Chain A
Amino acid sequence: MGILSQPVGAIAEWLRNLLLGWGLSPGLTTVLLYLIGAGVLATLVQTWVIFLIWYERKIIGRFQDRLGPNRVGPYGLLQPFADFIKIMTKEVIIPEGADKPIYILGPIVMDAGVLMLWAVIPLMPMVGMDINVAALYTIAVGAFATLGILMSGWASNNKFALVSAIRTVAQMISYEVPTVLALLVPVLLAGTMSLQGIVEAQHVWYIVAAPLAFLIYFISSVAEVGRTPFDLLEAESEIVAGFHIEYSGMVFAIFYVGDFLHAFTIGALAAVLFLGGWRGPGAEAFPLLGLLYLWIKAFAVYFLVVWARGSLPRVRIDQMMNFSWKFLTPLALVLLVLTAVLDYFVAGWGAWGQALSHLVMNLVVGWLVLRYLQAWEKARAARRPVVAQPGQYPVARPPRPAVAETSTEAAS
């Protein structure tokens, strides 16, 4: 039981013996150990955001042909610390008529909903708490993030904040449906809801067996977090802000931190569910290597999120709702049924045989969907009454409403 093969176990054992040596009871020792472990992990994750902010600003800078932060510290690494100190000393303004306790609790609940996810993510072999319902737990704590947004929007006593909060929540719950459906696919393939169990079942990464489920999961989680291209409710370049319009100082920073952490956390979750988690050469023998693999994979997915932010335009709200309810959800339903039926018939084919047959099914479905989308787009283009004539505005304008109609509208 060396520090290399059992890093956390060895430290925990040493601490336990130390505490028991002080004459504490075994039960209390366990609780204290858990407290220390949870405290260390939560602190690390929370401070990790400081690095994430630097990383994202740097990457976005490069996408936009800028340098990004480069003044404070080497490569601008200390910039987020400077920002943090600045925002610490800002005033927390509570608007008039706000519902004070709920106003303060809103960001706290939202951030807690994100942080809680880290309780179940398996960081390396045999580390990370293993509850048998971990997959559903990740969905459940997402409810707190939604709730926090609704609370802060309502408590701000501001029309725009309230409207934005309601819209954001409508968006989040719309995209939760495909998330839950896509999450069912790895659960079904692994036959367990425990995330550690799902990682251990991935002899072949599930992105091979279920690439479409990965895509659905990725897109809908990004939409749930409300990152670009789905950030139309707090679009900083078009409207001022969303539900957090009245927030300032540290209370706003909590939203900011929660947002960045959420984006990285969905990267880690996608890595655990579809990219094999800590799996990699030598991870079983040296668990710390597994942690490194997980971090690399999480960063790869997080990079995709940032990439999407750097290169995609915003969508419109009706497009966004249609995309979830009329495209992702039906596709996820079809995929779930096909995966279930196929998995039943290829049960005895070995890991690679199963994965490849699922891959073929996914490719066929994906091809059919693409053909359908092409046909749909063609039909839509045929319907569109665009007559581009020289000197004319190339988009059909809506007919002017008659004066009588306008007046009745105003009267009613």
Chain B
Amino acid sequence: MTAMQIVFLLTAVVALFSAFRVVTTPNMVHAALWLIVTLSSVAVLYVLLSASFFAVVQIVVYVGAIAILMMFVVMLTRREMRDRGPQLGKQWPWAAVLAVLAFGGLTWLVRSAALPASPVGEVPATSVADLGAALVNPGGFVIPFEIASVLLLAALIGAVYVAWTRRNS
């Protein structure tokens, strides 16, 4: 067992425990904070995968923006803050069965496939620049890149339209 494997296992334990708390804790602000712990440990996993750009982006986008937005909404919807009672619906045993089945099936798939134990090569030092070049390359990902910008524009327009009503007294 190498040091990297120990780091991986520790991170995995933290990620899974906090993810479990996210889906079970009744207090929504606590759930958001546990979500932040999960997302940060996923960032550590990205570092272990030598995807440092994505580790940083994970923190910027998820912790810095999405989690903050969620906490805002939790604080906007006051009634839920007092709902310390059960937050799971009646259907939760079925959900648990389905989740266990999904996990079992996926694990069985992973175990039955022949997967490499180590990477085929090293990540080039210029991987971020390569990504940037590929994102604007007509033979690469320029269409997804521009469509992503249109998607985000549409999301903003839709979200502002839905949430914002001019105060008409």
Q: Hey, which bits of chain A sit against chain B, CB under 8 A?
A: 27, 99, 102, 131-133, 136-137, 139-144, 146-147, 150-151, 154, 162, 166, 169, 173, 176, 191, 193
Interface string of B1-20 (1 = CB under 8 A from A): 00100000000000000000
Using C-beta atoms within 8 Å of the partner chain, give the interface range for chain B: 20 to 34
Q: Provided the pairs A27-B3, A132-B125, A142-B64 are in contact, do residues A150 and B57 lie with their beta carbons within 8 angstroms?
A: no
Q: Provided the pairs A133-B52, A136-B60, A141-B59 are in contact, do residues A147 and B68 lie with their beta carbons within 8 angstroms?
A: yes
The one of B57, B59, B63, B75 in contact with A154, judged by C-beta atoms closer than 8 angstroms, is: B75
- B68 lies within 8 A of A169 (CB): yes
B42 within 8 A of A: no
Find chain A residues with CB under 8 A from B135 CB.
Answer: none
- B75 lies within 8 A of A133 (CB): no
- B63 lies within 8 A of A133 (CB): no
Q: Provided the pairs A132-B125, A151-B33 are in contact, do residues A146 and B68 lie with their beta carbons within 8 angstroms?
A: yes
The one of A27, A102, A131, A166 in contact with B52, judged by C-beta atoms closer than 8 angstroms, is: A131
B145 within 8 A of A: no
- Min CB gap B159→A, angstroms: 15
Q: How far is the CA of A173 from the CA of B64 in the complex (A)?
A: 9
Find chain B residues with CB under 8 A from A151 CB.
Answer: 33
B36 within 8 A of A: yes
Find chain A residues with CB under 8 A from B103 CB.
Answer: none
- Min CB gap A165→B, angstroms: 9
The one of B29, B57, B68, B75 in contact with A173, judged by C-beta atoms closer than 8 angstroms, is: B68
Find chain B residues with CB under 8 A from A141 CB.
Answer: 59
Q: How far is the CA of A173 from the CA of B72 in the complex (A)?
A: 12
Residue of B nearest to A155 (CB): B29
- Min CB gap B143→A, angstroms: 21
Q: How far is the CA of A102 from the CA of B36 in the complex (A)?
A: 13
Q: Provided the pairs A132-B125, A193-B128 are in contact, do residues A143 and B72 lie with their beta carbons within 8 angstroms?
A: no
Residue of B nearest to A180 (CB): B60
Q: Provided the pairs A132-B128, A133-B128, A147-B63 are in contact, do residues A140 and B56 lie with their beta carbons within 8 angstroms?
A: yes
- Min CB gap A348→B, angstroms: 20
Q: How far is the CA of A146 from the CA of B125 in the complex (A)?
A: 32
